[in-house]
Structure 1
Amino acid sequence: MIAQVVPILLAFGANLGDRGETIQAAQAALAREPGISNLRASPLRETVALTTTGPDPDAPRYFNGVATAETTLTPHELLDVVQRVEAVHGRTREVRWGDRTLDIDIILFGGRVIQDERLTVPHPRAHERDFVLAPWLALDPNAVLMGHGRVAELLHRIGDTTAPTLDRDQEVPDAQ
């Protein structure tokens, strides 16, 4: 049986350690994973930390970006891979929306709607997060968030508080 190839959108964030290097290393690791291909990453954006009580200007600032790719993995296999890559980069989950070395969210998995105890896709808050929408718009000016509309219109509606990073080259290292 031939596996179906599904387009995906992943979001990346980090506010501890070498944020840009960590995100690039995670993207390169994902690009090398069996079942993931054609990973294309956005430029990174810098943002204020968002906590459960709102923006926290005193917390370390985040680097955020997104990447499009294709996968033959199932949604939960992809989630397992993403969580393994997070763990390799020191991700812990003690505090909800706390500081982190790496966060990878599955924003879209083809046109599928998934909601179970482990995974919700499309990501339930992507439409209200400029740190997802701004890098996505930079990667794809015609992007559409399933169930919410054009990314450009969503970002215009909520405003863009992100800033370009001054990080060095943000290309995903060769996946070979």
Structure 2
Amino acid sequence: MSKFISWKNNWLSGNFQLFTDGVQKGAITFGTWKSDAEGVFDDKNYFFSNVGFWQSRTNVIDRKTNELVAVITYDSWKSKAVISLKSGERYEWTSTGIWKSQFTVSNYNNEHITYNASSYSGAISSDTDNELLIVSGLFIKHIYNKRVVTLIACFMPIIVISTMRH
């Protein structure tokens, strides 16, 4: 059974709203100065807490049980991440579109979630009801988008100074 979800993204805050059949069923809300986030979808509530100086890992905590349910690890050189569930299952997040407008979460077996993005909205097609995986895919998208913006912000002064010298 396929599940179809649409989402909207607030550019300034990075927050997401998730809709099923036009009714808001969830949200991802990011902290003001951090990449930590609260993710809610249907009746599930998760807290995404980034770990480490370079934030190369995210712990996902179930808010109802206060239990660690997943760990997300990021590949710094590729747009790729691994979601390792407490059960031992592993899912891979990969960007499939040339402009990073498509991405997937998959175990390459029987569960696959496809995300399509336009400017500040998109659609999700999922053959699993796993709310954690659905929300995690958008959270990871935001983390990689934030890294690109940070990289551009770091190199922009260098580019401007070098072009002004010549």
* Shorter-chain TM-score tier: under 0.3
Higher relative strand content: 2
Q: Which has the larger radius of gyration?
A: 2
Higher relative helix content: 1
Q: Which has the higher contact order (CA 8 A, sep 6+)?
A: 1
Give the structure-1-normalised TM-score. 0.25
